[in-house]
Chains A and B, each alone.
Chain A
Amino acid sequence: MEFAELIKTPRADNVVLHRPFYLAVEGTLCLTGHHLIFSSRRQDNAEELWLLHSNIDSIEKRFMGSLGTVIIKCKDLRIIQLDIPGMEECLNIASSIEALSTLDSVTLMYPFFYRPMFEIVEDGWRCFLPDQEFELLSSVTDEWRLSYINKEFSVCPSYPPVVVVPKCIDDEALRKVAMFRHGSRFPVLSYYHKKNGMVMMRSSQPLTGTNGRRCKEDEKLINATLRPGKRGYIIDTRSLNVAQQARAKGGGFEQEAHYPQWRRIHKCIERFNILQESLIKLVEACNDQSHNMDRWLSKLEASNWLTHIKEILTAACLAAQCIDREGASVLVHGTEGTDSTLQVTSLAQIILDPRCRTICGFESLVVREWLQAGHPFQQRCAQSAYSNSKQKWEAPVFLLFLDCVWQILRQFPCSFEFNEQFLIMLFEHAYASQFGTFLGNNENERSKLKLPTKTMSLWSWVNRSEELSKFQNPLFEANSLVIWPSVAPQSLQLWEGVFLRWNRPSKFLDEAHEEMINIIKYNKELQAKVNALRRQLAEMETDDRVQENL
């Protein structure tokens, strides 16, 4: 298919762009296969706006005489308005945008056409391979092994080819366990806590069904992670009620009788459309500036977004607490083990593992616990807060995770190597990107799409010093401790950097950030100068002494 077929009017002049907090600008609008480009060539202030079609969440058109207005709502929550003279042009442009922003085929997406203009220092596709991660693990324990059982994605389609399992469990047993777990997602290692050797595993729900089916291998597998005489915790991310209902559909939960060494705790983390609706309501509240204080607070409350944040964080803290404080191993699962499960396991690691609070460590966490673990990004991030279509697979699961990370970052502003911008950048790229990293729903699909050869990895771009410098937290001081965030309502805040990003003036906050950077930069410069002088002095003094001795 040629994109040109979809572009009936490639260019319109005298278009006026409106954005909140900016003066209206007049300029030229161009449509290309993947971008909407607006450029104003005014002499005092030439500027260009490039918008990926895939970033467009919804589009509305209005007419006032022959002047058409197109309102574009983006997945990154920005809203822009374009006034386009000429009814026909406007209609053409609107329908082109609509068509181009809802392309069906993945292979028509921009990442397959994007050619990087930067030099690749390190190929992001080869950065976080399971073998490398496992090497780190095997230096501290030999109780685990890599299993290549899923090499062809034949055992579990949503798992990566290589997984980490207890050494004493062979592939044959794994195959049986896979039959017993929803979507074949058998328990695999998620995190090893070096401090006390306790582990966190994740899986999907067991298929016990109404008649309480059991699987000896499954029991053996998870028991293999327990120390003699010790108990473990199973954190089920569903309420007991929901878990019980799941039995009717063949799912279920681990029964005490068959797992006597495990204590089950139910947490209630919402899924799918409930989360999506929450996001829609929240963004609606943030964009509606007409109401008074009371309505703002009640709308914020009614969106339930912060309630979800609190629930997810609480479950993650609980998992971390079991591991670090109770000295127990933990198994986390919900239904499929691809959403709330990953929120809990990845946040727990941020709390427990200082490495996950570094830039590289966090990238590795996203790769391990989200991409390789089979979070269906393509389904979940197909639409954002402005979509009208009611598809059932969208859910801001990853955004909630990022928001939780931000909450912890806010409470421990000196313990993270990255800053808020880094999290916002990941949010943007999960929803629309020139990179292939977040395409597809799992490793299986990614390998079929041949992403590593046909597209560029986000990490190749981020991990260059030019980009990294934007994402570094100037306050960072390595903190090797476990960090326990507060989950009280008073401690949780709306993530303004994302939700109010386009409708609050940020000048004063940006200035403050700059000031902060300058203070720290100046300090570092002085330190360097002082050290240099000291060295120089020391050298001169030894020279002196040498001379003296002569």
Chain B
Amino acid sequence: VENVRLLDRLSSRKAALGTLYLTATHVIFVENGSETRKETWVLHSQISSIEKQATTATGCPLLIRCKNFQVIQLVIPQERDCHDVYISLIRLTRPVKYEELYCFSFNPKLDKEEREQGWKLVDLKEEYNRMGIPNNHWQISDVNRDYGVCDSYPTEVYVPKSATAHIIVGSSKFRSRRRFPALSYYCKDNNASICRSSQPLSGFSARCLEDEQMLQAIRKANPESDFIYVVDTRPKLNAMANRAAGKGYENEDNYSNIKFQFIGIENIHVMRNSLQKMLEVCELKSPSMSDFLWGLENSGWLKHIKAIMDAGIFIAKAVAEEGVSVLVHCSDGWDRTAQVCSVASLLLDPYYRTMKGFMVLIEKDWVSFGHKFNHRYGNLDGDPKEISPVMDQFIECVWQLMQQFPCAFEFNERFLIHIQHHIYSCQFGNFLCNSQKERRELKIQERTYSLWAHLWKNRADYLNPLYRSAHSQTQGTLSPQMAPCNFLYKFWSGMYNRFEKGLHPRQSVTDYLMAVKEETQQLEEELEVLGERLANLQKSQLNDNKVKSKQQDRSRQLGLSMSNNSLANTPQEYSSDLKSFPSRSPSQGDEEDSALILTQDNLKSSDPDLSANSDQESGVEDLSCRSSSAGGCLPSEDSGKDSDEAVFLAV
């Protein structure tokens, strides 16, 4: 469709005229104008809603909201075209078969072996070995091979040694969806563990001997301690209501040596509505400070984030400080339980705060234990009531922790944002389906690629420059403020207003430090080379031989290449680099220059997350602006102006 206008949300005066293309996988908007053929790519799987608004004199507006919080406003001149686009998009964004998803057509041009290597990057067996398991108290159980006991659990489950197959199966029959207690995290130092399950089918009075034995076995696996905590992450009222349906929670009287604890985290429906409300606030055209703060409070979002954190902190404290094992469950044990177990693990074990460890953590607590990715993130057309930002909340918890402990994580904010993007993108196979069983049936590993390999390849872009493995914050347990320090929880504009660059700090400390560190590394190398040459030279001077002329040649070359490097760090060059920070997508790393003439091919191979959006524009704008304004006025000035002008005047 031609002559479509892409509106800028902050300023209605700034609209781009261009052509809209629909492909099998993307919506593409290409701006007119020969120099700045700026492209905006949006994956169909990212689109969460399409809204056709009332036709106006200028055309028919179409509003596209994305799951990665991008909002695109288009105006299509012909009502009929708009309708066609709308109908097509509705169909395209609601695939009914997994095979329609992008990951089955996505080809990063890796051979088979590389693909297999990629899937092997994260190995859970290795991870349990790292924790020190199997050992005297814990073993791997094959009771769930062929998914015979629980179809949403992995085939390999870790359980206490004293829990026989009989006990496990018996316990599983007493738990929702047969999700029996299994090991999530084990603390080598004091034998305390975190186990997870679903709610017991206790109703008002039912009990199950095997389930009681199971919990007893978990306690015995931690010989030092004479009780375990059972943490129900639901609000007490919800848990009680479940009893009427024959479900519920453990009765302390029936189980020997448990301490039962409610930690109220709301259910997926409350969370979905909360996010919805917060996004409405983010979308306000020019909100006053009161509108914004009031809306943020009203959405309850940060309150929910804090509830999840508090639960994680409680468990981490029980394990690290009291040396007591914890069994965590909610209703089905695949949403809140996953959030809480992974937050607690992250606090407890510095390994999960590394890039590799974080991948392992997600693979362990989310992917393998059957978090329902397909339902929660609406990959296939399904029940909208199943959709909920469960993982988004976990990712935000990590970000909130990063704010409090700036040196504790090996990865940076961008890493989190990219993971969030790919939970929805369906570009990689990792987060497909609702369980390991479904993924195996679909032969995901043979037909799609692993996100972890992709992220790992570009890890240089995701490093936190402040991370140092010897630093005190990277050691041991993190203990965040347990006191009700509400002010520690902040709105994450980097995520929820991700595509509105105008709102973010214009200079990134992270990128600056990363550039400095890169330069430092080059300097270290050069220092070594220079040192060697100096030594050689001194020797040769003594011997007075004639190798010199050759060396001088080399030295000139080296000097030159170095001066290029140092040039890359002069302020002007740097600030333009800063400007285009968001467009520095991992996959573009070494093709920065070609970023302007992105063809479809290299777009597809690169991370669509970043190439797919207006990020490109910053790079383009830079150049055009620099050439037009004949010096003096550099990029950051202009981009700042355009978006803000509207703001100042509007107020």
Contact A526 B530 (CB under 8 A): no
**Residue B108 interfacial (CB < 8 Å):** no
**Minimum Cβ distance to chain B for residue A487 (Å):** 6
How many Å lie between the Cα of A298 and that of B290 in the bound state?
9
The 4 A-B residue pairs whose C-beta atoms are closest, nearest first, are A484-B640, A489-B292, A512-B406, A297-B297
Contact residues in A for B125 (Cβ distance below 8 Å): none
Q: Size class of B's contact patch?
A: 35 or more
How many Å lie between the Cα of A494 and that of B484 in the bound state?
17
Contact A544 B523 (CB under 8 A): no
Contact with B along A458-497 (1 / 0, CB 8 A): 0000000000000000010111011111111111111010
Cross-interface CB contact of B484 among A291, A475, A536, cutoff 8 Å:
A291
The segment from A2-10, A201-209, A517-525 that touches chain B is A517-525
**Minimum Cβ distance to chain A for residue B570 (Å):** 9
How many Å lie between the Cα of A509 and that of B473 in the bound state?
11
**Residue A74 interfacial (CB < 8 Å):** no
**Residue A182 interfacial (CB < 8 Å):** no
**Residue A256 interfacial (CB < 8 Å):** no
Known A-B contacts A292-B303, A321-B641, A537-B555; A519 and B516 likewise in contact (beta carbons under 8 Å): yes
The segment from B41-49, B171-179, B442-450, B505-513 that touches chain A is B505-513
**Residue B481 interfacial (CB < 8 Å):** yes
Contact with A along B123-138 (1 / 0, CB 8 A): 0000000000000000
Contact residues in B for A540 (Cβ distance below 8 Å): 534, 537-538, 541
Contact with A along B627-651 (1 / 0, CB 8 A): 0000011101100110111011101
Interface hits, B240-294 → A, CB 8 Å: 282, 286-294
* A548 (CB) vs chain B CBs: closest residue: B548
**Residue B393 interfacial (CB < 8 Å):** no
Cross-interface CB contact of A488 among B502, B562, B633, B637, cutoff 8 Å:
B502
Cross-interface CB contact of A486 among B488, B503, B507, B530, cutoff 8 Å:
B503
Point out residues on A near B: beta carbons under 8 Å: 195, 286, 289-294, 296-298, 300-301, 304, 306-307, 309-311, 314, 317-318, 321, 325, 410-415, 475, 477-479, 481-494, 496, 500, 504-505, 508-509, 511-512, 515-516, 519-520, 522-523, 526-527, 529-530, 533-534, 536-537, 540-541, 543-545, 547-548
Contact A500 B297 (CB under 8 A): no
Contact A511 B486 (CB under 8 A): no
Cross-interface CB contact of A489 among B288, B485, B512, B537, cutoff 8 Å:
B288
Known A-B contacts A516-B466, A519-B517; A511 and B293 likewise in contact (beta carbons under 8 Å): no
How many Å lie between the Cα of A240 and that of B155 in the bound state?
72
Cross-interface CB contact of B636 among A481, A504, A523, A537, cutoff 8 Å:
A481
Contact with A along B470-496 (1 / 0, CB 8 A): 011100000001011111111101000
**Residue B578 interfacial (CB < 8 Å):** yes
How many Å lie between the Cα of A318 and that of B533 in the bound state?
58
**Minimum Cβ distance to chain A for residue B300 (Å):** 7
Contact residues in B for A307 (Cβ distance below 8 Å): 288-290
Contact A490 B497 (CB under 8 A): yes
Interface hits, B501-541 → A, CB 8 Å: 502-509, 512-513, 516-517, 519-520, 523-524, 526-527, 530-531, 533-534, 537-538, 541
A-B contact pairs, 10 of them (CB 8 A): A292-B486, A415-B507, A483-B640, A487-B644, A489-B289, A512-B406, A519-B465, A522-B520, A534-B559, A544-B537
Contact A508 B473 (CB under 8 A): yes
Contact A477 B502 (CB under 8 A): no
Contact A297 B640 (CB under 8 A): no
**Minimum Cβ distance to chain A for residue B467 (Å):** 9
Contact A298 B645 (CB under 8 A): no
Known A-B contacts A414-B512, A486-B647; A310 and B289 likewise in contact (beta carbons under 8 Å): yes
**Minimum Cβ distance to chain B for residue A527 (Å):** 6
Contact residues in B for A491 (Cβ distance below 8 Å): 493, 503-505
Contact B490 A493 (CB under 8 A): yes
Number of A-B contacts (CB under 8 A): 225
How many Å lie between the Cα of A237 and that of B634 in the bound state?
31
* A494 (CB) vs chain B CBs: closest residue: B487
Cross-interface CB contact of A523 among B407, B468, B516, cutoff 8 Å:
B516
How many Å lie between the Cα of A77 and that of B186 in the bound state?
44
**Residue B571 interfacial (CB < 8 Å):** yes
Interface hits, B308-331 → A, CB 8 Å: none
* A285 (CB) vs chain B CBs: closest residue: B487
* B516 (CB) vs chain A CBs: closest residue: A523
Contact residues in B for A479 (Cβ distance below 8 Å): 571, 575
Known A-B contacts A489-B288, A526-B524; A512 and B407 likewise in contact (beta carbons under 8 Å): yes
**Minimum Cβ distance to chain B for residue A311 (Å):** 8
**Residue B21 interfacial (CB < 8 Å):** no
Known A-B contacts A289-B485, A484-B644; A300 and B293 likewise in contact (beta carbons under 8 Å): yes
Contact residues in B for A496 (Cβ distance below 8 Å): 487
Contact residues in B for A292 (Cβ distance below 8 Å): 303, 484, 486
Known A-B contacts A490-B493, A508-B404; A523 and B519 likewise in contact (beta carbons under 8 Å): yes
**Minimum Cβ distance to chain A for residue B478 (Å):** 9
How many Å lie between the Cα of A413 and that of B648 in the bound state?
22
Known A-B contacts A301-B289, A317-B644, A541-B537; A533 and B527 likewise in contact (beta carbons under 8 Å): yes
Contact A294 B520 (CB under 8 A): no
Contact residues in B for A488 (Cβ distance below 8 Å): 286-287, 502-503, 647
Contact residues in A for B500 (Cβ distance below 8 Å): 490
**Minimum Cβ distance to chain B for residue A204 (Å):** 24
How many Å lie between the Cα of A289 and that of B485 in the bound state?
6
Contact residues in A for B537 (Cβ distance below 8 Å): 537, 540-541, 544
Contact B471 A289 (CB under 8 A): no
How many Å lie between the Cα of A415 and that of B632 in the bound state?
17
How many Å lie between the Cα of A296 and that of B483 in the bound state?
14
Contact B289 A515 (CB under 8 A): no
How many Å lie between the Cα of A63 and that of B502 in the bound state?
55
Contact A512 B466 (CB under 8 A): yes
Contact residues in B for A548 (Cβ distance below 8 Å): 548
Contact residues in A for B306 (Cβ distance below 8 Å): 293
* B633 (CB) vs chain A CBs: closest residue: A481
* B404 (CB) vs chain A CBs: closest residue: A508
How many Å lie between the Cα of A516 and that of B407 in the bound state?
10
Contact B487 A541 (CB under 8 A): no
How many Å lie between the Cα of A306 and that of B287 in the bound state?
13
**Minimum Cβ distance to chain B for residue A278 (Å):** 12
Contact A294 B404 (CB under 8 A): no
Contact A515 B471 (CB under 8 A): yes
